[in-house]
Amino acid sequence: MMVKKNLVLERLRKNQPALGGWIMGNSPVSAEIMALSGFSWVCIDAEHSQVSKETALDMFRAIELHGAEPFVRVSSNNEVEIKKYLDMGARGIIVPMIKSLKDVLNALSHIKFPPEGNRSYALPRCTGYGEFSKEYFIEANQEIFIAIMIEHIDALKDLDDIFACKAINAVFVGPYDLSGSMGIPGQFDNIDFRKVMKTIQSKAQQYGVTMGLHEVHPTSEKILELLKKGIRFIACGMDTIFLMEKSKEFASLNASNICNKTEKPAYNNHSAK
């Protein structure tokens, strides 16, 4: 047996889009549906959801079953947190609240085996419970996708050093946290916020780091526009938003006066025989 190539890394190396799903709900079924739909990757949000590690493991299995890569946004840049998800088979790690080069190096040390990092060796699920551990220990450093999140204004002073790290595969911007750290929460049209975003994007382009984006309310038009701008790593919506938006679309008919505007049905007063 052998460690397969990371589908997302392969697509990005070819300058192809890598579109993914995002899971907030505590349901392996949602994860399976996202993977079954054809996304290249599906990310479990372990930072802002109630998903347990036991449930995440079932999600990973469901995602892998349909050929997508199981990713996770960890709750913090913490060795034990990251190690647990890697050991259970995460193929991509998204690390939140990166503010400095030191934060990046800490994350890399948690994700990479020696000599590139300090990840500890074991024989968990990611190694086939030891069945292909030798291959995994050799290849994991190249096949684990690593994305960092820039979501605090303090990161700007270290952007050059952060983006110069070749081990980073993509960068996500957390717009709400970033704008909040600037004292203008949610003001995405603010001129200062737009300048900061432009700086991050230009630095990413300068250093050849893939720019990622989470389009929470996606449409085909929005995603195509992002692809035209050169953004290749895109999270499309999330399970909870998809469920809410589609539910509201039809529930709104319940609150309307549509029945008063249509012809009343002809009822049969005869009992069924």
Residues labelled catalytic: 48
Element (H, E) at 41: strand 41-45
C-alpha to C-alpha distance for 62 and 33, rounded to whole angstroms: 9
Opening angle at CA 198, ends 49 and 202, nearest 5: 100
List, as own/partner pairs, every contact residues 120-125 make where C-beta atoms lie below 8 angstroms and the sequence separation is at least 24, other chains included.
120/83, 122/87, 124/87, 124/88, 125/57, 125/87, 125/88, 125/89
The encoded tokens of residue 115 equal 């000599």
Asked whether the beta carbons of 140 and 3 are under 8 A apart, the reply is: yes
Asked whether the beta carbons of 248 and 217 are under 8 A apart, the reply is: no
